[in-house]
Amino acid sequence: MRVLSRRFRDVFVCQLRAAFAAGELGLSGARANLADPATLTARLDELTHIDWVVFAKPPFAGPEQVLGYLGRYTQRVAIANSRLVTLDDGQVSFTWKDYRHHGKTKVMTLSADEFIRRFLQHTVPGGFHRIRHIGFLANRHRAAKLARCRELLAAPPPEPLSARRWQDRLRELTGQDVDVCPCWAARC
């Protein structure tokens, strides 16, 4: 954990320096004094001597489950308007399916603050895009429909993907190496 803490700190500070140099770091209000390059450099140098606390634990079901979970939110909105039932006295009621009881639809009521908190946990982060598929690429029965398309086209089934690290796949797709900080790579 200590190595992760130092690595995160170094990459974070490196990215702050790069953003400042590129003019992408907006410093206003209480942080306006950091707009001076000497002041910012001194503050960032101070940060590199502090032990940062980084909390990370392995996902329960493995990285594939995490990616699957996050991937669902690039496909659709966290909750559709049709599921909202009422908003009364600061309480939001909405429907949900209880798959432990054979997909029975139930109504849950939460305070508006709690509803918004939970909703915002499922919004797509900046840089991500929602994707919608219709027809044979729709989520429902996609595997069966694609198999049928291959059968009708006499196309062979796809080769199974080889098991490899996500870092290697990202490097192949984007050319970016997440194992090396861009600031350090530029120095070499």
Residue at 140 is within a domain: yes
Question: Does residue 105 sit in the same domain as residue 152?
Answer: yes
Question: Does residue 73 sit in the same domain as residue 40?
Answer: no
Residue at 178 is within a domain: no
Q: Using alpha carbons only, how large is the chain's radius of gyration in Å?
A: 23
Residues of the chain with pLDDT under 70: 1, 59, 70-78, 124-134, 136, 182, 184-188
DSSP 8-state code for residue 166: H
- What distance in Å separates the CA atoms of residue 117 and residue 83, rounded to the nearest whole number? 17
What pLDDT, on a 0 to 100 scale, did the predictor assign at position 185? 60
Residue at 184 is within a domain: no
Question: Does residue 67 sit in the same domain as residue 52?
Answer: no
Question: Does residue 84 sit in the same domain as residue 154?
Answer: yes
Report residue 117 as tokens.
């908190």
> How many domains is the chain built from?
2
Question: Does residue 136 sit in the same domain as residue 97?
Answer: yes
Which range marks the domain in which residue 42 is found?
2-57
What pLDDT, on a 0 to 100 scale, did the predictor assign at position 129? 63
Beta strands in 8-130 (DSSP E): 84-88, 91-98, 104-111
Question: Does residue 53 sit in the same domain as residue 106?
Answer: no
Tell me the pTM.
0.34
Is the Cβ–Cβ distance between 71 and 116 less than 8 Å? no
What pLDDT, on a 0 to 100 scale, did the predictor assign at position 92? 94
Question: Does residue 78 sit in the same domain as residue 127?
Answer: yes
